[in-house]
Amino acid sequence: MKPGCGKTHRSCAIRCISGGIPAVLRMQDARGNLNYALIVDQNGESLQDRITPYLADQLYICGELKQVDDWLVLFTGLGDDVHRVEPWWKDQMVMCH
């Protein structure tokens, strides 16, 4: 997916996830290293409609990160354990003064 962020990515991701493709979390550490993890609920099931309000936003998500075969998988309840840092539309807002 190019671009892999922002409004264009959000609309595409909603369609893909609604169609059954698992959501993926792009993670960046303090050194700028990137990694990716599938996001599932605590039972390993798809989050589908529960994740769509957060797509393309910068988030803090609490959960249990596990290595499953060649994948990192984040198991989360996606309730009080998710917090927005910045929404995808932040840089597109027009502020009136």
Q: Read out DSSP for 13-53?
A: HHHHHHTTPPPEEEEE-TT--EEEEEEE-TTS-B-HHHHGG
Q: What pLDDT does residue 3 have?
A: 53
Q: What pLDDT does residue 30 have?
A: 84
Q: What pLDDT does residue 78 have?
A: 74
- The CA distance from 53 to 47, in Å, is 11
Split the chain (97 residues) into runs of 10 and give each run's mean pLDDT.
66 84 84 90 85 82 91 86 69 51
Domain boundaries defined on the chain: 6-92
- The CA distance from 58 to 69, in Å, is 27
Q: What pLDDT does residue 47 have?
A: 83
The length of the chain is 97
Sign, CA torsion 39/93/7/10:
positive
Q: What pLDDT does residue 97 have?
A: 43
